[in-house]
Structure 1
Amino acid sequence: MSSQRLFAAVLPPEPAADELAGAVAPLHRLPGAVNLRWTARAGWHYTLAFLGEVGEELLPELYTRLERAAHRTEPFPLRVHGGGRFDGRALWAGAAGGLDTLRLLAERAHAAARRSGVPMEEHRRYTPHLTLARSRVPTDLTPYTAALEGFEGRHWEAGELSLVRSELPVGGVPGQQPRYEVVRAWPLGR
């Protein structure tokens, strides 16, 4: 049986991604920016639940349960807002707006995967974030988070739950990014 590396996510619309790209561009000129692995724009998303490798046999049940999770969750306002970091290894843009609904959707996506037979790690408190860059070694990301602190993106309506496949790059090619493909997407609400 083959498997796919999957995660559930909310994807920002093009205008929101355009704004964020404008805010991120100057960060590439900060000292040490060349040592970070910057996430390509195609990889910008708010992960709800990371499923890991999922066997093909689990997909029909997973699709049904994720669709149910989407239908039970009303569309909600969202915007890219500010920035933060996980230790010195990941720089991210935050979110503002309907965060309670975003967290609820994350819980529902996590439960849908678990009930479909996907072995899920224990669900931790959800921190909405869109990864902008990673570092292999601990790095002082303070100048980057300071530069993003005042960023207020436009409001948009999160209206879809996406199941995304990620294909990791084959080793040996410097700077190569994972490839992301939306496998299925379900509208939120009825």
Structure 2
Amino acid sequence: MSVLNTVVKPFKAQAFKQGKFIEVTEADIAGKWAVFFFYPADFTFVCPTELGDVADNYAELQRLGVEVYSVSTDTHFTHKAWHDSSETIGKIQYAMIGDPTGTVTRNFDVMREAEGLADRGTFVIDPDGVVQAVEITAEGIGRNAADLLRRIKAAQYVRAHPGEVCPAKWEEGDKTLAPSLHLVGKI
């Protein structure tokens, strides 16, 4: 079952962020754009490349008013140890949620029950707490923060411009479409 166009379910989790342990709940995303970035496990191979890519683009995400929450079924203590021991993970400034019970992971329907690990899932959440975009890839397929940025910009544009939609390959500043009877069969 897809969580697209659904409201984020209530949760409470511990996270590691900028040298501190913090509590994160669904209330923290209310009224803001957010990205939940699920990955299988700390101290692995593809995961640090993805998390590092998001970290490299975090300033741009912040400029867009987006907060990032990475999530795995590791604990917040493991996140701290990984942060302290890896140059790539050490540059992360966003919250790293520990989800050892799998509550958050199950809420987004990306739990691999047999392994107790999250799939690679990315969820763009609007200020109303509604999931606007979903990307899920297999274990060996890393994600690209540039793709994520493009999707966020498109979601923000569509929200700010009711009646317009973003076509394939849309980039910020490109033309959009206004669906109407006059466009049917003309594209």
**What TM-score does the superposition give when structure 2 sets the normalisation length?**
0.25
**What TM-score does the superposition give when structure 1 sets the normalisation length?**
0.24
More strand by share: 1
Ranked by relative contact order (alpha carbons within 8 Å, sequence separation 6 or more), the top structure is 1
